[in-house]
Chains A and B, each alone.
Chain A
Amino acid sequence: SQTIHQWPATLVQPVGSPLSLECTVEGTSNPNLYWYRQAAGRGLQLLFYSVGIGQISSEVPQNLSASRPQDRQFILSSKKLLLSDSGFYLCAWSYGGANTGELFFGEGSRLTVL
């Protein structure tokens, strides 16, 4: 069966510090991978998606970046965090190929920027 792991689960970071969130998927090959953010009072916002190694599409201009160094690994990074980066970050995967709309989400990483 397929599983998705996301870490760390929670973190508190000062403004201006770097960020690295990691996500790995097991039990499937060549998945589509996604990073979403859920901020208080707002819906799920798509940040990045990837259909293959090294292929990253950005949906929202910001100070975040994403990388996919391996088939089932997706990393979200920032060089300098802003207060507005606080939120609940969710990694998700879907079966490779055409997006069916059925996403499988990880448990999330809650980021608080102070």
Chain B
Amino acid sequence: EDQVTQSPEALRLQEGESSSLNCSYTVSGLRGLFWYRQDPGKGPEFLFTLYSAGEEKEKERLKATLTKKESFLHITAPKPEDSATYLCAVFNQAGTALIFGKGTTLSVSS
């Protein structure tokens, strides 16, 4: 069964304290790995797509990387406005829908 596991469940950082979030997946024939950001009470917002091992994408203080079994979302010098839940997702076997992980809730304090 296709699965997406994210860790840690929650992460508290001080402003400027860099860290990484992990997303591991078990799906045969990866058709892409996707990162989303979700603010409390809102719908998720698309961040990145990664297609192949070794690929990297960057957006402001966020950088996503992909290996054959997992993806990392690196947050460099985070700010309080980076506080959110970060979700990763992969396509199901049929390629018809995204399977999401439970997310990592990031809190950045000043």
Number of A-B contacts (CB under 8 A): 58
Task: Return chain B residues, CB-CB under 8 Å to A34.
Answer: 97
The A91-111 residues at the B interface (CB cut-off 8 A) are 92, 99-108, 110
Residues of A within 8 Å of B, CB-based: how many? 24
Q: Size range of the interface on B?
A: 20 to 34
**Is B45 among interface residues, defined by CB-CB distance under 8 A?**
yes
State the Cβ distance, B85 to closest chain A Cβ, in Å: 10
B44 touches A101 (CB 8 A): no
A107 touches B32 (CB 8 A): no
**Once the chains are docked, how many angstroms separate the CA of A26 from the CA of B99?**
26
B43 touches A90 (CB 8 A): yes
State the Cβ distance, A49 to closest chain B Cβ, in Å: 6
- Residues of chain A whose beta carbon lies under 8 Å from any beta carbon of chain B: 34, 36, 41-46, 49, 57, 59, 90, 92, 99-108, 110
